[in-house]
């Protein structure tokens, strides 16, 4: 009887694995919901920073960048723009929290001086929840 080893049986290990899987199926979706909200808030914060930078550009140049100039004039010097006193951003903006490019249009819709948009996680116009478009004016 002294040679008897104590160990977990295969059944006991399977029961533990099933319990862990059930718990993770309950907790996982809640955590991913937090991740989506964090990306939305990060994108909104980035857009607010870009809006402030666009206002600085306007103060120096007297206008907002054209659609053709886009956001790149905020970090890339342009000798053609009279009054340009940048760089307004230290480096190029790589995109929103989902790595999609921001959409910039001048003039904007609804009487806004410009539109600054993110198309959300799916990167296309429209959508709901985390796929919804995010506008600086909302």
Q: What is the pLDDT of residues 104-114, one digit of tens each?
A: 999 988 889 99
Residues β-bridged to residue 100 = none
What average pLDDT score do residues 82-95 get?
86
Quote the pLDDT of residue 130.
75
Render pLDDT for 1-16 as a digit per residue (tens, 0 to 9). 556 667 778 888 888 8
- Structural domain contains residue 4: no
What is the pTM for the complete model shown? 0.72
> CA dist 98 to 79, 91, 104, Å?
32, 18, 17
The pLDDT > 90 percentage for the chain reads 38
Domain membership flag for residue 67:
yes
At residue 2, the pLDDT reads 59
For residue 98, give the CATH number of its domain: 3.30.700.10
């Amino acid at each position: 009887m002294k040679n008897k080893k104590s160990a977990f049986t295969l059944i006991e290990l399977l029961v533990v694995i099933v319990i862990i899987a059930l718990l993770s199926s309950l907790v996982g979706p809640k955590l991913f919901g937090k991740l989506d909200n964090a990306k939305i808030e990060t994108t909104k914060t980035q857009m607010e920073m870009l809006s402030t930078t666009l206002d600085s550009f306007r103060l120096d140049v007297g206008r907002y960048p054209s659609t053709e100039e886009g956001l790149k004039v905020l970090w890339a010097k342009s000798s053609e723009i009279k009054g340009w006193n940048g760089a307004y951003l230290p480096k190029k903006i790589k995109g929103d929290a989902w790595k999609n490019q921001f959409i910039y249009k001048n003039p904007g819709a609804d009487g806004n001086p410009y539109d600054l948009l993110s198309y959300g996680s799916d990167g296309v116009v429209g959508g709901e929840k985390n796929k919804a478009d995010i506008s600086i004016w909302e």
